[in-house]
Copies of this chain bind each other. A is one copy, B any other.
Protein backbone atom coordinates (compact mmCIF):
# COMPACT_ATOMS: atom_id res chain seq x y z
CA UNK A 1 0.00 0.00 0.00
CA UNK A 2 1.41 3.42 -0.90
CA UNK A 3 1.94 5.76 2.00
CA UNK A 4 0.17 9.13 2.04
CA UNK A 5 1.23 11.60 4.72
CA UNK A 6 -0.94 14.57 5.63
CA UNK A 7 0.04 17.78 7.36
CA UNK A 8 -2.35 18.94 10.07
CA UNK A 9 -2.46 22.77 10.24
CA UNK A 10 -4.12 24.24 7.15
CA UNK A 11 -4.51 20.81 5.56
CA UNK A 12 -6.69 18.83 8.00
CA UNK A 13 -7.37 21.73 10.37
CA UNK A 14 -8.49 25.24 9.53
CA UNK A 15 -5.80 26.88 11.65
CA UNK A 16 -5.50 29.96 9.45
CA UNK A 17 -9.20 30.75 9.90
CA UNK A 18 -8.92 30.59 13.69
CA UNK A 19 -5.88 32.90 13.63
CA UNK A 20 -7.59 35.40 11.33
CA UNK A 21 -10.68 35.48 13.56
CA UNK A 22 -8.47 36.25 16.57
CA UNK A 23 -6.68 39.06 14.71
CA UNK A 24 -9.95 40.58 13.46
CA UNK A 25 -11.65 40.47 16.83
CA UNK A 26 -8.81 41.13 19.29
CA UNK A 27 -6.08 43.07 17.44
CA UNK A 28 -6.34 46.68 16.38
CA UNK A 29 -6.05 46.44 12.59
CA UNK A 30 -7.45 48.09 9.46
CA UNK A 31 -7.16 44.82 7.55
CA UNK A 32 -10.30 42.89 6.69
CA UNK A 33 -11.21 39.24 6.09
CA UNK A 34 -10.54 39.48 2.34
CA UNK A 35 -6.98 40.74 2.90
CA UNK A 36 -6.22 37.56 4.81
CA UNK A 37 -7.43 35.42 1.93
CA UNK A 38 -4.84 36.90 -0.44
CA UNK A 39 -1.65 36.97 1.63
CA UNK A 40 -0.08 35.11 4.52
CA UNK A 41 -0.10 36.41 8.10
CA UNK A 42 3.67 36.88 8.04
CA UNK A 43 3.28 39.23 5.11
CA UNK A 44 0.37 41.21 6.55
CA UNK A 45 1.11 41.58 10.27
CA UNK A 46 3.76 43.60 12.08
CA UNK A 47 6.47 41.65 13.95
CA UNK A 48 4.90 42.64 17.29
CA UNK A 49 1.50 41.32 16.18
CA UNK A 50 3.12 38.10 14.96
CA UNK A 51 4.85 37.69 18.28
CA UNK A 52 1.53 38.23 20.10
CA UNK A 53 -0.10 35.62 17.86
CA UNK A 54 2.77 33.22 18.52
CA UNK A 55 2.15 33.53 22.26
CA UNK A 56 -1.56 32.83 21.76
CA UNK A 57 -0.71 29.70 19.74
CA UNK A 58 1.61 28.56 22.52
CA UNK A 59 -1.22 28.56 25.06
CA UNK A 60 -2.67 25.16 26.03
CA UNK A 61 -6.08 24.79 24.40
CA UNK A 62 -5.36 26.80 21.27
CA UNK A 63 -5.16 23.73 19.01
CA UNK A 64 -7.97 21.87 20.78
CA UNK A 65 -10.99 23.42 19.08
CA UNK A 66 -9.83 24.26 15.57
CA UNK A 67 -12.41 23.47 12.88
CA UNK A 68 -11.81 20.52 10.57
CA UNK A 69 -11.45 21.54 6.91
CA UNK A 70 -14.56 20.84 4.87
CA UNK A 71 -14.60 17.33 3.43
CA UNK A 72 -11.39 16.25 5.19
CA UNK A 73 -12.90 13.54 7.40
CA UNK A 74 -14.91 11.90 4.61
CA UNK A 75 -12.03 12.02 2.12
CA UNK A 76 -9.35 10.75 4.50
CA UNK A 77 -11.69 7.97 5.61
CA UNK A 78 -12.24 6.97 1.96
CA UNK A 79 -8.54 7.23 1.07
CA UNK A 80 -7.57 5.06 4.04
CA UNK A 81 -8.95 2.06 2.12
CA UNK A 82 -6.34 2.59 -0.58
CA UNK A 83 -3.41 4.28 1.18
CA UNK A 84 -1.51 3.85 4.40
CA UNK A 85 -2.39 7.24 5.92
CA UNK A 86 0.02 9.08 8.24
CA UNK A 87 -0.32 12.51 9.81
CA UNK A 88 2.88 14.53 10.27
CA UNK A 89 2.59 17.75 12.18
CA UNK A 90 5.31 20.13 13.27
CA UNK A 91 4.58 20.97 16.86
CA UNK A 92 7.95 21.19 18.55
CA UNK A 93 7.76 24.96 18.04
CA UNK A 94 4.72 24.89 20.35
CA UNK A 95 5.46 22.18 22.92
CA UNK A 96 2.21 22.98 24.72
CA UNK A 97 0.30 21.79 21.65
CA UNK A 98 1.25 18.08 21.89
CA UNK A 99 -1.72 16.96 23.93
CA UNK A 100 -4.24 19.19 22.14
CA UNK A 101 -3.11 18.03 18.71
CA UNK A 102 -3.10 14.37 19.68
CA UNK A 103 -6.57 14.64 21.24
CA UNK A 104 -7.85 16.57 18.20
CA UNK A 105 -6.68 13.84 15.83
CA UNK A 106 -8.12 11.04 17.99
CA UNK A 107 -11.44 12.90 18.15
CA UNK A 108 -11.89 13.85 14.50
CA UNK A 109 -9.87 11.10 12.77
CA UNK A 110 -10.27 8.08 15.09
CA UNK A 111 -9.75 5.76 12.10
CA UNK A 112 -6.11 6.92 11.77
CA UNK A 113 -4.23 4.64 14.19
CA UNK A 114 -2.07 6.36 16.83
CA UNK A 115 0.91 4.48 15.43
CA UNK A 116 0.59 6.63 12.29
CA UNK A 117 0.76 10.03 13.97
CA UNK A 118 4.11 11.83 13.80
CA UNK A 119 5.12 15.00 15.62
CA UNK A 120 8.25 16.41 14.10
CA UNK A 121 10.21 19.55 13.32
CA UNK A 122 11.73 19.07 9.87
CA UNK A 123 9.57 17.09 7.44
CA UNK A 124 12.74 15.85 5.76
CA UNK A 125 12.62 12.99 8.29
CA UNK A 126 9.36 11.65 6.80
CA UNK A 127 9.63 8.49 4.73
CA UNK A 128 6.48 8.44 2.60
CA UNK A 129 5.37 8.24 -1.02
CA UNK A 130 3.27 11.41 -0.85
CA UNK A 131 3.08 14.42 1.45
CA UNK A 132 0.27 16.98 1.34
CA UNK A 133 1.40 20.21 3.02
CA UNK A 134 0.74 23.94 2.78
CA UNK A 135 4.39 24.94 3.29
CA UNK A 136 6.78 24.82 0.36
CA UNK A 137 9.71 24.51 2.80
CA UNK A 138 8.25 21.20 4.03
CA UNK A 139 7.68 19.86 0.53
CA UNK A 140 11.15 20.96 -0.47
CA UNK A 141 12.71 19.03 2.42
CA UNK A 142 10.60 15.95 1.62
CA UNK A 143 11.99 13.03 -0.36
CA UNK A 144 8.78 11.71 -1.98
CA UNK A 145 6.17 13.48 -4.12
CA UNK A 146 4.98 16.69 -2.53
CA UNK A 147 1.51 18.15 -3.09
CA UNK A 148 0.82 21.75 -2.11
CA UNK A 149 -2.46 22.44 -0.29
CA UNK A 150 -3.55 25.98 -1.17
CA UNK A 151 -3.32 28.56 1.61
CA UNK A 152 -3.07 32.38 1.51
CA UNK A 153 0.69 32.23 2.10
CA UNK A 154 1.41 29.98 -0.89
CA UNK A 155 -0.79 31.40 -3.67
CA UNK A 156 2.16 32.41 -5.83
CA UNK A 157 4.05 29.11 -5.59
CA UNK A 158 4.29 27.17 -8.83
CA UNK A 159 6.82 24.42 -8.14
CA UNK A 160 4.36 21.78 -6.86
CA UNK A 161 1.17 20.10 -7.93
CA UNK A 162 -1.59 21.94 -6.11
CA UNK A 163 -4.86 20.99 -4.42
CA UNK A 164 -7.21 23.62 -3.03
CA UNK A 165 -9.94 21.58 -1.38
CA UNK A 166 -10.46 18.08 -0.01
CA UNK A 167 -12.55 17.42 -3.08
CA UNK A 168 -9.38 18.07 -5.15
CA UNK A 169 -7.46 15.65 -2.93
CA UNK A 170 -10.15 13.02 -3.36
CA UNK A 171 -10.11 13.38 -7.14
CA UNK A 172 -6.32 13.33 -7.39
CA UNK A 173 -5.67 10.36 -5.10
CA UNK A 174 -8.62 8.19 -6.03
CA UNK A 175 -7.58 8.74 -9.63
CA UNK A 176 -4.02 7.52 -8.90
CA UNK A 177 -5.07 4.17 -7.42
Write the residues of chain A forming the contact surface with B, with a CB cutoff of 8 angstroms. Answer: 3, 5, 86, 88, 92-93, 95-96, 98-99, 102-103, 113-122, 124-128, 143
Contact = CB atoms under 8 A, between A and B. Distances in A.
Contact of A114 (B86, B93, B103, B124): B93
Given A98-B98, A98-B102, A102-B95, A118 B125 contact: yes
Contacts of A88: 125
Top 5 A-B pairs, shortest CB-CB distance: A115-B121, A98-B98, A127-B127, A119-B119, A92-B114
B99 A117 contact: no
A122 B122 CA distance: 17
The residue in A5, A92, A103 that gathers the most chain B C-beta atoms within 10 A of its C-beta is A92
Majority-rule SS of A interface residues: mixed
B117 A92 contact: yes
A147 to B, nearest CB: 17
A60 B5 CA distance: 29
B121 A114 contact: yes
A116 B121 contact: yes
A99 B96 CA distance: 8
16 contacts: A86-B125, A92-B114, A92-B115, A96-B99, A98-B98, A99-B99, A116-B121, A116-B122, A116-B125, A117-B121, A118-B119, A118-B125, A125-B126, A125-B127, A125-B128, A126-B127
The residue in A117, A128, A143 that gathers the most chain B C-beta atoms within 10 A of its C-beta is A117
